Amino acid sequence: MLGDLFSIAVVSIPIALGFLITLFLLRPWINIAKKFGLTGKDMNKYNSTQVAEAGGIAVIIGICFGLLIFIFIKTFYLAADSNIIFIFSLITAVLLIGFIGFVDDILGWKVGLKQKHKFLLTIPVALPIVVVNAGHSMMNVPFLGNIDFGILYPLLLIPIGIIGASNGFNMLAGFNGLEAGMGIIILSALGYIAWSRELYWILLLVFICVASLLAFLVYNMYPAKIFPGDSLTYTLGTIIATIAIFGNMEKAAILLFIPYIIEFILKSRAKLKAECFGVPDQSNMLSSPSRKCYSLTHVILNHFPKVFRRNLKEYEVVSILYIFELFFVYLALVV
């Protein structure tokens, strides 16, 4: 019993550190970002001050430090195993995608990297996961049954999954608390699946990431004092895809990503140039920027006022998207 309690206490350390490091880094980063002009206007506020950008940097540091402490504990106090190489590959992928996202944050969302450049730059991010031969090449394909993709799995399917997830997660963004909240919901669902399969090392990876995101939400919830930036959205998409690969949870991850697939389809109608933002009035009630729906947020802003009999606040739009995502969590857990 004491041994179990000791193990729980030990593995709780990287989770707690991931939360605390992220939390303590955010306040000074907000000041630094404002000092150097790395700020952006909150588009969903009528009279908004400039808000610090690129908060994902603090989350990346918190997650990577928590993962390194986890590796330290496994190496020196617990039984080291082959999973350590997979954790190192995740850290490498997170640092690569975080750098790309941060470059885009510095350039700004108006002048930033073009969509084709973002796509090309995210290709190398898959390499750390490919070279360690993560995941299982045998997959259950609907209507076709079990198929062994062999060498195509690491060389083709893993890059497609990571590139698609990192770019896809970046599409549905721009509302206070949306990106981190959706990340917490999706990762928690994958963590539950990992727990049900007794993949406890993956569950701990999820706990570390979720803890860091919860710390970020302290400053990012409505009204936000800091924005996540592409440094976080790209990173979250990469983490979600990688954890799904590690745990052979690709089918669940696809279900959990359906809102982002819908978002891609809607934005494709506007040649991927549409934004998610609403149009705020003086009381910060939001209306849709267009009668046509080029985003899930536009769908909500166009149709839900008929239900509420008024326009919606920003946090209400985010809450509806949370509930929408929870529906797919239910489907993923059932399937």
- Give the burial class of 51: count Cβ atoms within 10 A of its Cβ; 0-12 exposed, 13-18 middle, 19 or more buried: buried
At a CB cut-off of 8 Å and minimum separation 6, what does 51 contact?
39, 40, 41, 42, 224, 225, 226, 227
Q: How far apart are CA 144 and CA 302, in angstroms?
A: 40
Indicate whether 111 pLDDT > 60.
no
**CA-angle at 180, arms to 317 and 208, nearest 5°:** 150
Q: How far apart are CA 335 and CA 126, in angstroms?
A: 27
The average confidence (pLDDT) of the chain is 91
Q: How far apart are CA 121 and CA 139, in angstroms?
A: 28
Q: For the whole model, what pTM was predicted?
A: 0.93
Indicate whether 327 pLDDT > 50.
yes
b (16+ CB within 10 A) / e for 292-315: ebbbbbbbbbbebbeeeeebbbbb
Provide the percentage of residues in the chain whose pLDDT is more than 90.
Answer: 74
Q: How far apart are CA 136 and CA 158, in angstroms?
A: 10
- In the structure encoding, which two tokens stand for residue 165, read together? 């997830």
Rama region for 281: left / alpha / beta (φ>0; ψ in -120 to 50; rest)? beta
Lowest mean pLDDT segment, chosen from 157-161, 210-214, 272-276: 272-276
Indicate whether 298 pLDDT > 80.
yes
Q: What is the arithmetic mean of pLDDT over 253-275?
A: 93
Indicate whether 7 pLDDT > 70.
no
Indicate whether 3 pLDDT > 50.
no
Indicate whether 216 pLDDT > 60.
yes
Indicate whether 18 pLDDT > 70.
yes
Indicate whether 280 pLDDT > 50.
yes
| In the chain, domain spans | 2-250
At a CB cut-off of 8 Å and minimum separation 6, what does 47 contact?
none
Q: What is the arithmetic mean of pLDDT over 185-206?
A: 96
Indicate whether 29 pLDDT > 70.
yes
Q: Residue 1 — pLDDT band, cuts 50, 70, 90?
A: very low
The per-residue pLDDT for 136 is 87
pLDDT single digits (tens) 165-181 = 999 999 999 999 999 99
Indicate whether 192 pLDDT > 60.
yes
Q: Residue 63 — pLDDT band, cuts 50, 70, 90?
A: very high
